[in-house]
Structure 1
Amino acid sequence: MPKGKSATKGKKITLKVAKNSIRITFDGRRRLDLSKMGIAVIPKCLLKLCDVEEIDLSRNFIRKVPDWIQRFQNLRLLDLHSNQIEKLPESIGQLQNLLHLNVSNNKLTAKGIPMELSQLKNLCQLNLGLNAIEALPTTIGALKELKEVGLFDNNLTTVPSSILELPKLKKLNTKRNPILPTKEELDAEQKETIQRVENLYLVSENNLCSPCVTKCQAERNKLNKLKNVEIPLTKKAFTNLVAPNSIAK
Structure 2
Amino acid sequence: MPKRARGAQGKKITLKMAKNSMKITVDGKRRLDLSNMGIASFPKCILKLSDIEEIDLSRNMIKKIPDFINRFTKLRYLDFHTNKIERIPETICQLELLYYLDVSNNKITTDGLPLEITQLKNLRILNLGLNAVEMIPTTIGTLKELKELGLFDNRITYMPEKITKLPKLKNLNVMRNPFTTPQVPVEPIDTIDRIENLYLARKHLLCRPCLKKCIREREKWSKVKQIAELDEEPDFSGLISPNSVAKQDEASWRVNK
* TM-score, normalised relative to structure 1: 0.74
Distance, in Å, in 1 between the alignment partners of 2:126 and 2:26 is 22
Distance, in Å, in 2 between the alignment partners of 1:25 and 1:113 is 29
Query: What's the CA shift string for 1:178-201, capped at 9, x where partnerless?
Result: 11362xxxxxxxxxxxxxxxxxxx
The equivalences for 1:83-162 within 5 A come to: 83-162=83-162
Percent identical residues? 58
What is the letter of the counterpart of residue 12 of structure 1?
Answer: K
- Gaps in structure 1 of 5+ consecutive residues: 183-232
Distance, in Å, in 1 between the alignment partners of 2:6 and 2:240 is 26
What is the letter of the counterpart of residue 239 of structure 2?
Answer: A
1:238 is aligned to 2:167: no
Residue aligning to 1:206: none
Query: What's the CA shift string for 1:107-157, capped at 9, x where partnerless?
Result: 001001011111100000000000010101101111100000000000011
Q: How many residues align?
A: 195
The equivalences for 1:196-235 within 5 A come to: 233-235=183-185
What is the letter of the counterpart of residue 155 of structure 1?
Answer: R
Residue aligning to 1:29: 29
**Closer/same/farther in 2, CA of residues 31 and 235 from structure 1, 3 Å limit:** same
Larger displacement relative to structure 2 (72-81 or 5-14): 5-14
The equivalences for 1:160-171 within 5 A come to: 160-171=160-171
Q: Give the ranges of 4+ consecutive aligned residues of structure 1 lying more than 4 Å apart after TM superposition.
A: 239-242
Distance, in Å, in 2 between the alignment partners of 1:242 and 1:138 is 23
Residue aligning to 1:45: 45
Name the one with the larger helix percent.
Answer: 1
* TM-score, normalised relative to structure 2: 0.72
Contact residue 134 and residue 157 of structure 1 kept, 8 A: yes
Residue aligning to 1:199: none
Residue aligning to 2:179: 179
Cα offset, 1:8, TM superposition? 2.6
**Closer/same/farther in 2, CA of residues 15 and 143 from structure 1, 3 Å limit:** same
Cα offset, 1:59, TM superposition? 0.2
Structure with the greater alpha carbon radius of gyration: 1
**1:55 aligns to what SS in structure 2?**
strand
Distance, in Å, in 2 between the alignment partners of 1:244 and 1:7 is 34
**1:118 aligns to what SS in structure 2?**
helix
Contact residue 8 and residue 61 of structure 1 kept, 8 A: no
Contact residue 81 and residue 244 of structure 1 kept, 8 A: no
What is the letter of the counterpart of residue 246 of structure 1?
Answer: P
Contact residue 67 and residue 90 of structure 1 kept, 8 A: yes
Contact residue 152 and residue 238 of structure 2 kept, 8 A: no
**Closer/same/farther in 2, CA of residues 82 and 100 from structure 1, 3 Å limit:** same
What is the letter of the counterpart of residue 96 of structure 2?
Answer: Q
Residue aligning to 1:56: 56
Distance, in Å, in 1 between the alignment partners of 2:39 and 2:76 is 22
